[in-house]
A = this chain, B = another copy of it.
Amino acid sequence: MSDRIFRHTHRVSYAECTLGNHIYYARYFDLLETARGEFFRAAGLPLLELQGRDTVFPVIEVRARFKSPARYDDLLQIELRILALEKIRLTFGCRILQQDGRLVLEATTEHVCATLAEKPKRLPEDLKTALRPYCCEREDASSMTPDV
């Protein structure tokens, strides 16, 4: 179990912020999506290529805890790992951190593997192989994201 973490960097823009100078709560999910796209690319299977094979990953559940605000121009580190790699489901554990390590957000996003016509299907074997290095055991299934 190699337990690798994928890391993606993001600079906060005005478009993402709202009153009070912090990222609008819904925009964090845009950031997580961008990081997931780069994660699949880094794993060797860009989402666009998978889409060409009639395979997409709609989100079926999200949980997020907002720990401290991220502000305009902050340079954020987005960390992704795989919490579950099942027959038709895929669950990401996500953390967003400031440069100094302060935790901004921790989240899980659960996805189902589906056709473009929105029918569930099995995760492709080559994808499972590509993602396996990023899998981690959930020691404590009750915690939202494991400590990393």
Contacts and interface: CB of A to CB of B under 8 A. Distances in A.
Q: Quickly give the copy total for this chain.
A: 4
Interface of A: 11, 13-15, 17-22, 24-30, 33-34, 37-38, 46-48, 56, 58-66, 69, 72-73, 116, 118
Contact of A18 (B17, B48, B66): B17
B66 A61 contact: yes
Contacts of A64: 61-63
A69 B24 contact: no
A56 B18 CA distance: 13
A91 to B, nearest CB: 13
Contacts of A116: 20
B13 A37 contact: yes
B25 A18 contact: no
Contacts of A46: 73
Contacts of A34: 11, 13, 15
B26 A19 contact: no
Contacts of A66: 58-61
A48 B72 contact: yes
A73 B56 contact: no
Nearest to A74: B48
A15 B13 contact: no
